[in-house]
Structure 1
Amino acid sequence: MPTAIRVSPTRAARAINLLRTVQYTHPPSCPCHSNPGHHHHATPSLINQARRSLATPTDASQQKEYAFEMAASSIRFGPGCTKEVGMDFKNMGAKKVMVVTDSTVKKLDAMRQVVQGLETEGIAFEVYDGVRVEPKDSSIKAAIEAAKPYQPDAFLAVGGGSVIDTAKLMNLYTTFPDAEFLDFVNAPLGKGKPITKGLKPLIAVPTTAGTGSETTGTAIFDLVSKRAKTGIAHRNLKPTLGICDPLNTRTMPSAVHASSGLDVLCHSLESWTAIPYYERVPRPTNPINRPAYQGANPISDIFSLQALRSTVKYLPRAVKDPEDHEAQSQMLLAATLAGVGFGNAGVHLCHGMSYPISGQNPGYKHAGYQVDGPIIPHGVSVAVTAPAVFKFTGASNPERHLAAAECFGVDISQVKKESAGEVLSEALANFLVKLGDQPRGLKALGFGKEHVDALVEGTIPQARVLMLAPSLEITNLDAEREQLTGLFEEAMEY
């Protein structure tokens, strides 16, 4: 019979005193961590951690998280490294590769490079080029059905986030061929089952600088029947390797540079300001149930803040000058850094609100996108609410919002904490206006007050990201609905 281990009050007190001694006699040397007010969690008080562990609620659903977990794909970065992909598959022992792309990227040099690499190594492959930009559940299902008969032993995604996300789900549902489509889809729209075993190797070659999908275990699509974006998120979805070749982003039109860069901007800002990991409830009863999006944590912070700085510096240059290859290269690196950050910390309100914005598009078509029919690019749908969102979340952690504002060049030395959200909101709005050709609010996308209720109802099911939103009353549906209504109304124009 196992022996129960009890911690006596005396022993617990000694442990607490020891932790207090360690905390106050060995302050961290990093200037940002030595200022307890700067980070809301990066070095949570060891004494508080000890107290939490000694006073854990017996109700498992109310136990707060106590650990975070880092997962990211291996990344290879450098101009020209696309040509190595054939050797990578040979090194893996792959015999049959399913190459996933779309009809536009199929004609680009990135595809020529990967085909040549596969042929040089004598690896059999089949190309699927039916990926839809901003994929729907129907296009995902069609891609899965195309992959099943081929039975590949590895996947290669060449394209933007839509292509990489589609390839992830082709990999998932060929590994679990008997699963129902909604089995792994995020709850409450799907069943939210964990992915219980590893998938086949997947190499991702991004041709845009935005989603960071080459690093993450997340795949997003439109669930048409619910008029909402949703997806699947689990560490086992992440690519085996991301090949980030700056030569592959040189073909992006200016509009795509801008909108994909805005996704990087919001990835970094949202993961930087998400609730800290140790405030997330519930603590998983098994590590396999720990979500990919865990809340802000000390490692994600490093990636998110650097991605934000790089985006503010290089995105305007990349949009303005198609020959500014340094800026383009730095934006691809920023997208990957942000991917590591938000792929583990998560995003919150800008993304949660963006899903119904895209799914309920009243007819807007963004200039510069060569697609049939209306489209609100993902980066546009997240950025359009950003000034309203960060004005709202500012009070949750003024220090973090001011640190973000400082990345935009704001002198924060005389700014009061209670003004943090407003200052960051204004800095964001100015940045978006100067970037040019961006819709200045939901009105510019064709939305009006009559659309607000439907947008709110389309946001509420996004529990996976809303649970990480600071200041949002997610435990009170009426209060949450009221807050979201105010945010959408505030986001009508800036």
Structure 2
Amino acid sequence: MPLDSFSLYAPTRVLFGPGQLAHLHEQTMPGKTAMLVISNGRSTRANGYLDRTAHELTQAGVKTVLFDRVGANPTKQIVEEGAELARKCQVDFVVALGGGSVMDAAKVMALLAPQPSSDLWDYATGSTGRHLPLKRPCLPWVAITTTAGTGSEVDAIGVVSKLDTHEKIGIGSPDNFARIAVVDPELMLSVPPKFTAYQGFDALFHNMEGYISTKTNLFGQMVQLEAIKSIGAWLPAAVRDGANLEARTHVAYANTMGGYSMVVSSNCSQHSMEHAMSAYHPELPHGAGLTMLSLAYFGYWAERHVCDERMVAMARALGRPDATRPEELVDALHDLQVACGVDGLRMSDYGFAGTHEEALLLARTARETMARLFMADPAPTTDEDIASIYMKSFR
């Protein structure tokens, strides 16, 4: 599709801004019974977000059943268990309260629950997915995000891991957008500095990858550049002082714009590469993995001079107004990592060996499981090219 053309379908009603959770009960709900999905951690309960959400749903006349088993990288097994609970309780819709993993899991539970097969991989792609079409419409779902990273509240795809085959695959449907999304930065004030940084860099790379992708377009570039500016200007402040609501709001804005970037354009292979990393090492936070790859990844494109003007524009958006060379984007990225305290991340700390064999395995896994993102790259790559980026990123 040429730069001056785009196709945009983003039907989610978004309630954005501080205090917006308190307005959830005023919205028209897609049913009277809901499965409320949260993580297996303590923060949603401890910070009062679960009670507040349950109160909003009660005010709206909705009864709920709780599913509280979603981990940091949602798995096929957990998604299938959630979908089974939704079937058993005959819920009308699903509510996700949490970060990107919870939203991804909940939206795929909403997709799977109505289907005749309870095996999620019947509807998955990748090397082991059976690629079957969905037989029935997805259940509606509502997103309430407590982090600023994935933009999952406004897109239609959830990423799920199959641990035994080391696959991490996006699964979705054109009718799998949330009916309502609440993006309330007040719910993000409790996110620790380290995870604020990881999530902020995830949001940054959604927009940066979209901006250099072959699917870039006028609408996407408007969204992406503004989001990149917001992250560059406000993420360090949010990391330094989590109670800075203004900084949290700007980072949350960039996060949601990153979701729209994925809807109207596409991520590139950096995201496929990280999914391969965390498929083999599920304890690796997604944003941390992306950060580890980013300097070598964008350095690779700078060296090939296939999108110089866009690289320079991003460098300027990240605070280098006089930038003229694509390499300056890599410098700006490094400065932002330093400012956010994540410049010392090491792949070796998460179990990576740093060998060429491992890098080539990761490269092949990335391409096999999420090939469509490689198709959005500024230029074609080989597995050896991708392996070289892993090798340069290793320490």
TM-score surpassing 0.5? yes
Partner of 1:126: helix, strand, or coil?
A: strand
Check if 1:79 corresponds to 2:24.
no
CA distance in 2 between counterparts of 1:164 and 1:398 reads: 35
CA distance in 1 between counterparts of 2:232 and 2:25 reads: 35
What amino acid maps onto 1:449 in structure 2? G
Pairwise CA distance, 1:112: 1.4
Task: Tell me, yes or no, if the aligned pair for 2:112 and 2:138 is still in contact at 8 Å.
Answer: no
Task: Tell me, yes or no, if the aligned pair for 1:303 and 1:337 is still in contact at 8 Å.
Answer: yes
Pairwise CA distance, 1:186: 3.0
Task: Tell me, yes or no, if the aligned pair for 1:68 and 1:297 is still in contact at 8 Å.
Answer: no
Partner of 2:89: helix, strand, or coil?
A: coil
Pairwise CA distance, 1:225: 2.2
Q: What pairs with 1:101-250 in structure 2 (closer than 5 Å)? A: 101-103=38-40, 104=42, 105-178=44-117, 180-193=119-132, 195=134, 198-250=137-189
Q: 1:255 to 1:177 in 2, by over 3 A?
A: farther
Aligned to 1:94: 31
Q: 1:256 to 1:449 in 2, by over 3 A?
A: closer
Larger Rg: 1
Pairwise CA distance, 1:178: 2.7
Aligned to 1:458: 365
Q: 1:490 to 1:229 in 2, by over 3 A?
A: same
Is there any run of 5+ residues in structure 1 with no aligned partner, and where? 1-39, 45-66, 276-294, 362-373, 474-479
Partner of 1:129: helix, strand, or coil?
A: strand
Pairwise CA distance, 1:240: 0.9
What amino acid maps onto 2:364 in structure 1? E
Partner of 2:88: helix, strand, or coil?
A: coil
Q: 1:195 to 1:108 in 2, by over 3 A?
A: farther
The two structures have a TM-score, normalised by structure 2, of 0.91
Aligned to 2:299: 391
Pairwise CA distance, 1:412: 4.0
Pairwise CA distance, 1:189: 4.1
CA distance in 1 between counterparts of 2:22 and 2:297 reads: 42
Q: 1:192 to 1:311 in 2, by over 3 A?
A: farther
Q: What pairs with 1:455-494 in structure 2 (closer than 5 Å)? A: 455-461=362-368, 462-473=370-381, 480-493=382-395
Q: 1:446 to 1:43 in 2, by over 3 A?
A: same
Task: Tell me, yes or no, if the aligned pair for 1:101 and 1:128 is still in contact at 8 Å.
Answer: yes
What amino acid maps onto 1:346 in structure 2? S
CA distance in 2 between counterparts of 1:345 and 1:463 reads: 15
CA distance in 2 between counterparts of 1:434 and 1:398 reads: 25
Per-residue Cα deviation, 1:124-163 (whole angstroms, up to 9, x for no partner): 2111111122112122222222221011111111111111
What amino acid maps onto 2:261 in structure 1? G
What amino acid maps onto 2:109 in structure 1? M
What amino acid maps onto 2:317 in structure 1? C
Per-residue Cα deviation, 1:351-406 (whole angstroms, up to 9, x for no partner): 11101211222xxxxxxxxxxxx721111111211111112223221100110111
Pairwise CA distance, 1:196: 6.4
Pairwise CA distance, 1:305: 1.3
Aligned to 2:333: 428
CA distance in 1 between counterparts of 2:247 and 2:376 reads: 31
In terms of mean alpha carbon deviation, does 442-451 or 127-136 score higher? 442-451
What amino acid maps onto 2:55 in structure 1? Q
What amino acid maps onto 1:359 in structure 2? A
Aligned to 1:367: none
Is there any run of 5+ residues in structure 2 with no aligned partner, and where? none
Task: Tell me, yes or no, if the aligned pair for 1:98 and 1:127 is still in contact at 8 Å.
Answer: yes
Pairwise CA distance, 1:93: 5.7
Per-residue Cα deviation, 1:41-63 (whole angstroms, up to 9, x for no partner): 5338xxxxxxxxxxxxxxxxxxx
Task: Tell me, yes or no, if the aligned pair for 1:318 and 1:327 is still in contact at 8 Å.
Answer: yes
What amino acid maps onto 2:378 in structure 1? P
Check if 1:345 corresponds to 2:287.
no
Q: 1:81 to 1:411 in 2, by over 3 A?
A: closer
Q: What pairs with 1:284-299 in structure 2 (closer than 5 Å)? A: 295-299=215-219
What amino acid maps onto 1:482 in structure 2? E
Per-residue Cα deviation, 1:288-335 (whole angstroms, up to 9, x for no partner): xxxxxxx22221221111111101111000000122111011111110
Residue of structure 2 aligned with 1:309, choices 229, 232, 236: 229
CA distance in 2 between counterparts of 1:409 and 1:398 reads: 17
What amino acid maps onto 2:340 in structure 1? L
* Superposition RMSD in Å: 2.2
In terms of mean alpha carbon deviation, does 101-110 or 235-244 score higher? 101-110
CA distance in 2 between counterparts of 1:390 and 1:182 reads: 33
What amino acid maps onto 1:110 in structure 2? Y
CA distance in 2 between counterparts of 1:309 and 1:296 reads: 18
Task: Tell me, yes or no, if the aligned pair for 2:143 and 2:178 is still in contact at 8 Å.
Answer: yes
Task: Tell me, yes or no, if the aligned pair for 1:205 and 1:214 is still in contact at 8 Å.
Answer: yes
CA distance in 1 between counterparts of 2:59 and 2:16 reads: 22
In terms of mean alpha carbon deviation, does 135-144 or 397-406 score higher? 135-144
Aligned to 1:264: 203
Task: Tell me, yes or no, if the aligned pair for 2:140 and 2:176 is still in contact at 8 Å.
Answer: no
Residue of structure 1 aligned with 2:310, choices 400, 404, 421: 400
Pairwise CA distance, 1:446: 4.1
CA distance in 2 between counterparts of 1:472 and 1:72 reads: 33
What count of residue pairs does the alignment treat as equivalent? 388
CA distance in 2 between counterparts of 1:201 and 1:316 reads: 36
Task: Tell me, yes or no, if the aligned pair for 2:80 and 2:119 is still in contact at 8 Å.
Answer: no
Partner of 2:154: helix, strand, or coil?
A: coil
Check if 1:43 corresponds to 2:4.
yes
The two structures have a TM-score, normalised by structure 1, of 0.74
Percent of aligned positions that are identical: 25
Per-residue Cα deviation, 1:73-102 (whole angstroms, up to 9, x for no partner): 2211122221232342xx346221111112
CA distance in 2 between counterparts of 1:299 and 1:196 reads: 33
CA distance in 1 between counterparts of 2:32 and 2:146 reads: 25
CA distance in 1 between counterparts of 2:175 and 2:135 reads: 8
Task: Tell me, yes or no, if the aligned pair for 1:76 and 1:242 is still in contact at 8 Å.
Answer: yes
